[in-house]
Amino acid sequence: MTMPAHELDTFGKGAVALESTPIMNDQKMKLGLFAFNCSGGMVMSNAPTTFRVTWEQQKKIAQLADRIGFEALVPVARWRGFGGETNFNGVCYETFTWAAGLAEATENIQIFTTTHVPTVHPIVGAKMATTIDHISEGRYGINVVMGWFPPEMEMFGGKQREHDDRYRFGSEWLDFAQELWTKDGSFDFEGEYFQANGVEAYPKPLSGPRPALINAGSSPAGLEFSAKYVDVNLTALDSLESMKEHSDKIKGVARDKYNRNIQVMTYALVVCRDTEEEAKAAHRRIIDEGDWDGARNVMSALGMESQSFQAQIEKFQERFIAGWGGINIVGTPEQVVQQFQELSDAGMDGAILGFLDYAEELEHFNEKVMPLLREAGLRY
């Protein structure tokens, strides 16, 4: 079949190799920012902060992370808050349009969307992803989420799927999207969840063979999904020992079963101050002024609906107040760097970070912590 000239021109298809994008670089400890598209970010508390979800602040924070040399911006996909006193994450920017705006506002950092796959059809999702990939000139990726909070899924008129079925759905969603990103001409798709005839998609992504992918699964089904499909598994396990075990396991499954390499990163709330006393006091205030009703709402949903967090629910209640269930890195710049070293030793290839006050604390992090990370050989 003879194709029109505009389809023969692949618009730079595959011009940017996935391996050359920031999230895939060879920094020993890759760094990103997490969750700043939503009110509270990673902090479910009334502790004082100047952080607000305004576009002016979003650009300022993103451009600062870009200037510092961070690898990634990773948002949280939210459609409603969690109630409680603060209605945590209730003010939030949608992540595809957010990423498109920040792609234009930045130069080097890789920008991700986070998408609950039941909320967007793969044809639409793949097209939006390709558009942002072009805006960013290949600095783009997707954090693929199966959808875990029942009240949000019910907002879209559906019921929450059983845990492992969410991953079957997500696998088919991604299979369909990858065909849209790579297949020329028109094609049919016949699956359990999606059926489509005469499908076509132009242009193709600049990223080749596709945009970078993240997933946070740590349940058996989630681990298998990540090992098969994604480039970065994002984990929030409760100890350095469990992180090392998880990292070794998922990298082994990816290598031995799917002939792939995968990175493992974690997410963390950073509370860094010039003295240990100041850091501990700031961290304590976050917890003391925490939104415990909101935290109980989150933990209730996770306990009922997410195998990925079962071990953390009761033992680490404070970590949902301070860090969204992720680890807390607290201390002086020297102590913070030591904790990053421990993460690296535990098999973590990087960490995406949150702060109580993103813009102000990121400046301090750049001034005091980044030089020490370089001295420690964790960054260059």
> Residue 80: phi, psi to the nearest 5?
-160, 165
Q: What is the rounded average pLDDT of the residues 147-152? A: 76
Tallying the residues shown for the chain, one arrives at: 380
pLDDT in tens, 330-346: 999 999 999 999 999 99
Can you give the pLDDT at residue 305?
A: 44
Dihedral sign (CA 261, 67, 53, 99): negative
Q: What is the rounded average pLDDT of the residues 238-243? A: 90
Can you give the pLDDT at residue 254?
A: 98
* b/e code 235-257 from CB counts within 10 Å (16+ = b): bbbeebeebbebbeebbebbeee
Instruction: Give the residue among 8, 32, 42, 2 at the shortest CA–CA distance from 204.
Output: 8
Instruction: Give the residue among 102, 135, 104, 126 at the shortest CA–CA distance from 11.
Output: 135
- Parallel, antiparallel, or unpaired: how do β-strands 16-17 and 212-215 relate? unpaired
- For domain 5-375, the CATH class is alpha beta
Can you give the pLDDT at residue 316?
A: 64
pLDDT in tens, 158-207: 777 888 899 999 999 999 999 999 999 999 999 999 999 999 999 999 99
Integer Rg of the chain from CA: 20
> Residue 306: phi, psi to the nearest 5?
-130, 110
> Residue 159: phi, psi to the nearest 5?
-105, 150
pLDDT in tens, 89-144: 999 999 999 999 999 999 999 999 999 999 999 999 999 999 999 999 999 999 99
User: Binning pLDDT at 50, 70 and 90, where does residue 379 land?
Assistant: very high
How far is residue 236 from each of residues 76, 77, 114, 228, 327, measured CA to CA in Å? 15, 17, 17, 20, 7
pLDDT in tens, 63-77: 999 999 999 999 999
> Residue 180: phi, psi to the nearest 5?
-65, -35
User: Binning pLDDT at 50, 70 and 90, where does residue 309 land?
Assistant: low
Domain definitions of the chain by residue range: 5-375
- On the question of pLDDT at 1 being above 80, the answer is no
* CB-CB contact of 35 with 76 (8 Å): yes
Can you give the pLDDT at residue 5?
A: 60
Percent of the chain with pLDDT over 70: 92
**Distance, CA of 182 to chain centre:** 24
- On the question of pLDDT at 313 being above 80, the answer is no
CA–CA gap between residue 374 and residue 379 (Å, rounded): 5
> Residue 64: phi, psi to the nearest 5?
-65, -45
Can you give the pLDDT at residue 304?
A: 46
CA–CA gap between residue 292 and residue 84 (Å, rounded): 7
pLDDT in tens, 257-308: 999 999 999 999 999 999 999 999 999 999 999 998 888 888 777 664 455 5
CA–CA gap between residue 380 and residue 374 (Å, rounded): 5
Tokens of 19: 């391996």
- On the question of pLDDT at 8 being above 70, the answer is no
Q: What is the rounded average pLDDT of the residues 376-380? A: 98
Can you give the pLDDT at residue 6?
A: 61
> Residue 104: phi, psi to the nearest 5?
-75, -25
Q: What is the rounded average pLDDT of the residues 222-229? A: 96
CA–CA gap between residue 293 and residue 321 (Å, rounded): 10
- On the question of pLDDT at 24 being above 90, the answer is yes
* CB-CB contact of 29 with 378 (8 Å): yes
Average pLDDT, the chain: 92
